[in-house]
Structure 1
Amino acid sequence: MNISETVKRKLSLGARILQVGGVEKVFKQFFSVREGERLLKVSTTSGPLAGLLFISTDKVAFCSERSMKVFTQKGHMLRIYYTVAIPLKKIKCVNHQSKNVQKPKQKYIGIVTEDNFDFWFMGIMKYQKTMKYLEQAVSQA
């Protein structure tokens, strides 16, 4: 992906966030939020599946920047956003030593759940700050 396409996608994402009314409203639009749950940090991600990574007092959640085409069993096309929500209490460990070998500045966050599923979030912007919030949220869960 070239720089102009990246800028165009980020502007589109910013416009969608403004249209909905801010990142907290985007979070509530895509994920169930319990009473008292607070949003701690939002980071943007880049790579093959760019989007928003949310860290709250209850979960780590991801929503893709763009919708994807999926087909129903009857062959009807739907456009959906790819979303993942991982309860903090189900996180066994966070792998923060992951780097892209070809692009060392591009770092990944790997999360392993209690049932040994791996989730990788790629191209995290503001990596150090995001890791700080993630580690703090997991330790307090």
Structure 2
Amino acid sequence: MGGLEKIYKRLFRVYDEEKLFKAYQCYLSTTAGPIAGLLFISSKKIAFCSERSIKVASSKGDLIRVHYKVSIPLCNIKGVNQSINSEKPSQKYIQVVTVDDFDFWFMGFLSYQKAFNCLEQARSLSFEQ
């Protein structure tokens, strides 16, 4: 079992029949600014985990450090769109829209087209199941 697969299984709940296709370094756009991390694409979901932990307030009011994580089952993805900044064409984004109309913007991929193609392939395979 490879390094990325171990990381994925440690960070997220993984089903027995789930297969990790690929992981890509990228940024997730948030209201607080972009967060660097890994986007995992599997046969069941896409999942993002920040590279570094962030500080958040606990229920007791203490500041604790946690990784910023997002997990979206493929069946809850309504659409995936490519977007390019018209003023800076080198800035490319992948928008993921969920069935409940939340959208997630991923950017800064080293292999943008490969990441988009992998995500599209994972979605098409999930439709077949």
In the alignment, what sits opposite 2:123? 138
Distance 1:26 1:102, change over 3 A: farther
Among 38, 43, 49, which residue is 2:24 paired with? 43
Does residue 125 (structure 1) correspond to residue 110 (structure 2)? The answer is: yes
> Within 5 A, what are the aligned runs for 1:58-69?
58-69=44-55
Q: Deviations over 1:61-109 (max 9, x none)?
A: 100011000112322111000000000011111011x123443212111
Identity %: 55
How many residues are matched? 120
**What do you get for the CA RMSD once the two structures are aligned?**
1.5
The structure, 1 or 2, with the larger RCO (C-alpha pairs under 8 Å, 6+ apart) is 2
User: d(CA) in 2 for partners of 1:26 and 1:121?
Assistant: 20
TM-score for both structures, normalised by structure 1? 0.79
Is the Cα–Cα contact under 8 Å of residues 65 and 81 in structure 1 kept in the other structure? Answer: yes
Secondary structure of the structure 1 residue equivalent to 2:35: coil
Q: Deviations over 1:13-61 (max 9, x none)?
A: xxxxxxxx71111111111000011110110014720100000000011
In the alignment, what sits opposite 1:27? 8
Write 1 or 2 for the structure with the bigger share of strand: 2
Write 1 or 2 for the structure with the bigger share of helix: 1
Contiguous gaps of at least 5 residues in structure 2: 29-33
Consecutive aligned runs of 4 or more in structure 1 exceeding 6 Å deviation: none
Among 100, 106, 110, which residue is 1:115 paired with? 100
